Amino acid sequence: MNHPLKGKRALVTGGSRGIGAAIVKRLAREGADVALTYVSKPDEAGKTVDAAKALGVRALAVQADAASAEAVVAAVERTAKEFGGLDILVNNAGIALMAPIDTFSLKDFDRTFAVNVRAVFVAIQAAVKHMKEGGRVITIGSCNADRMPVVGSAVYGMSKAALAGLVQGLSRDLGPRGITINNVQPGPVDTDLNPASGEFAESLKKLMALPRYGHVDEIAAMVAYLAGPEAGFVTGASLMIDGGFTA
């Protein structure tokens, strides 16, 4: 089996389930040692860690709420200490709080940006201190940065649009160090929080060129490409993987 990431050390935030868990397992399958963060479900985190270990790599779960800058930094530092360094950071943790403008609370606005934007910046700032040439930073954004057809989702869409700008700008900071940074923007993906069946799912499928939800493994495959040696000339990009939702 080909292991293009053998010897690499990765951290995936929000990696206990859904897209994050798929990314953890894909990076492990390609040979990387992988740490993940989770907030409140240690059993799910443990299952993902066990699945990664079964692929012959080291794996670690770290409890950390992305809303806490201190917890995010501590997770990065623990990963680097346990693995002896850090080569790949995948910022996957995120939340989606929805409400119309008249009722969207400032508390929810602040938490959205703390988790979806500030935590990404904090994790990158902490992680790149441990990265050498060839390091990879990948954020998981959303196609909603470019298209938002759902009422009450403006703040979520704005937070994901902020990631595109952050990644584009940081490519200039990190490029001279030989570190790439890119933003993956998934469309509707089948997860526990956004199932591929039901009235809401059917309404989204009507907006897509491919009238189906994506699979978590499809997102993980793009992340693995960006984390690997073949993507060494890709940086500052926001890559859409949305079934034509924004086409």
pLDDT tens digit sequence for 95-133: 999 999 999 999 999 999 999 999 999 999 999 999 999
Return contacts of 191-200, CB within 8 angstroms, 24+ apart.
Answer: 191/17, 191/18, 191/19, 191/216, 192/17, 192/18, 193/18, 193/96
Report which of 19, 150, 123 is spatially closest to residue 67, judged by C-alpha positions: 123
Calpha distance 37→72 (Å, rounded): 9
Q: How many other CB atoms sit within 10 Å of the CB of residue 238?
A: 20
pLDDT band of residue 1 (cuts 50, 70, 90) is low
Q: Which two tokens stand for residue 187?
A: 């469309």
- Give the tens place of pLDDT for each residue, 172-181: 999 999 999 9
Residue 193: predicted pLDDT: 84
**pLDDT tens digit string along 42-81?**
999 999 999 999 999 999 999 999 999 999 999 999 999 9
Tell me which residue of 68, 95, 205, 198 sits closest to 149, measured CA to CA.
205
Among 38, 156, 213, 225, which one carries the catalytic annotation?
156
Distance CA 41, CA 247 (A): 36
pLDDT (0 to 100) of residue 2: 84
Q: Return d(Cα 205, Cα 211) in angstroms, integer.
A: 5
The CA distance from 32 to 29, in Å, is: 7
* Measured distance CA(104)–CA(119) in Å, rounded: 21
pTM over 0.95: yes
Whether 225 is catalytic is no
Would you put residue 198 in left (φ > 0), alpha (ψ -120 to 50) or beta? left
- For 12, 16, 66, 131, 223, the CA distances from 228, given in Å and listed in that order, are 15, 22, 26, 15, 9
pLDDT in tens, 151-171: 999 999 999 999 999 999 999
* CA–CA dist 87, 220 (Å, integer): 17
Contacts of 117 (CB under 8 A, 6+ apart): 159, 162, 163, 166
**CATH of 9-190+217-240 among 2.170.150.70, 3.30.70.2340, 3.40.50.300, 3.40.50.720:** 3.40.50.720
Give the integer Cα–Cα distance in Å for 161 and 110.
16
Strand-pair category, 9-12 with 88-91? parallel
Average pLDDT over residues 27-55: 97
